[in-house]
Amino acid sequence: MAKQAAVRSVDLDPIDRLEEKVALLVNVVTRLRTEQARAAEENTRLTHELDALRARLADVQGVNTELDALRHEREAIRQRVAEMLSHLEAL
């Protein structure tokens, strides 16, 4: 009878260890799923932020193009005014 109790406890030890390992694996899987969900949320947030920054960059590039055009126009006007002033001085 004592041998049967010893055999049963010996037979249950591997099952107990297996149960512990399964519990640890479940915890690891749960943690990994949580980390994956967090990473997916972060990825979505960063994608939206990147899209917004690209839109701002496009706006800035448009403004820079317009600014360059205005500078060229200002220079052309300066030249015309200088030419007009020289014509007026000649009179």
Ordered mean pLDDT values, 10 residues apiece, the chain (91 residues): 53 88 97 98 98 96 96 97 93 81
Judge if pTM exceeds 0.85: no
Alpha-carbon distance values, 37 to 32, 41, 43 (Å): 9, 6, 10
Quickly count: other Cβ atoms within 10 Å of residue 78's Cβ.
10
Distance between terminal CA atoms of the chain?
133
- Tokens found for residue 16: 């107990």
Give the pLDDT of residue 41: 98
How many residues would you count in the chain? Answer: 91
- Tokens found for residue 10: 């010996």
- Tokens found for residue 72: 């060229």
